[in-house]
Homo-oligomer: A and B are copies of this chain.
Amino acid sequence: MTRSEHEDGIRVAVSTVILTLRRDGGQAPRLALPLVRRTRDPHAGAWALPGGWLDDAESLAAAAARTLAETTGLAPSYLEQLYAFGAVDRSPSRVISVVYWALVREEESVGAVGSDPENVAWFDAEDLPGLAFDHARIIEYALWRLRNKVGYSRVAQGFLPPEFTLADLREAYETILGRRLDPANFRRQVDATRTLIPTNAFRTGSHRPARLYRDATDVELADRGPLSPEETRTS
């Protein structure tokens, strides 16, 4: 395998899709993600996913975590690799973008501030502004993967605190899937999986008290890929 004369022009970037459930005053929660306004060309002024160039001396996951922290101040406990995007025409120059993603709880998403806070904002995933490059398609793919994944894994718990009610969990599913679920059926299905442990605590408030649950196991919620420390370590 000889080195092509052409590939000198190929550069490697990383981007991150950070999703959370935003609750605004009693309304149904909505999926939201942070974007960064570009201050230089190409696409100056357009919103883009947090990201930047891969540095020679850092792993892909470390680059994703670094550029995410620099731009947004966010530091999720893990980042999962989503996909490597490499269409020839996705940028004026040839850029391969390795995209990572994470689900964060709403508490983790507030208060985080990057180096240029005026150019960072959270957007409703259903109501995005004009986006740079192929970032609209990257987000669409992340949302598709999320919808797909709730069918066979406990990914929705990534949005929730360690203890949650069945209504919290159902609401997370409903938001991801974009449709209402029957509460009784949902409870039966969750019971059948035996992955939740009822605690002795209840949430009280305007409704009747609701029992709090926690995850039954310490099984990873994220696919850490090849499970190698140097690949998945974010710092």
Contacts and interface: CB of A to CB of B under 8 A. Distances in A.
Nearest to A84: B84
Contacts of A53: 1-4, 7
Interface of A: 1-4, 6-7, 9-13, 38, 40, 51-60, 67, 81, 83-89, 94, 96, 98, 137-138, 140-141, 151-152, 225-228, 230-231
A3 B7 contact: no
30 contacts: A1-B52, A1-B53, A3-B53, A4-B53, A4-B56, A6-B55, A6-B57, A7-B11, A7-B55, A9-B56, A10-B56, A12-B86, A56-B94, A57-B88, A58-B88, A59-B86, A59-B87, A59-B88, A60-B84, A60-B86, A60-B96, A83-B225, A84-B98, A85-B231, A87-B230, A96-B96, A96-B98, A137-B226, A140-B226, A141-B227
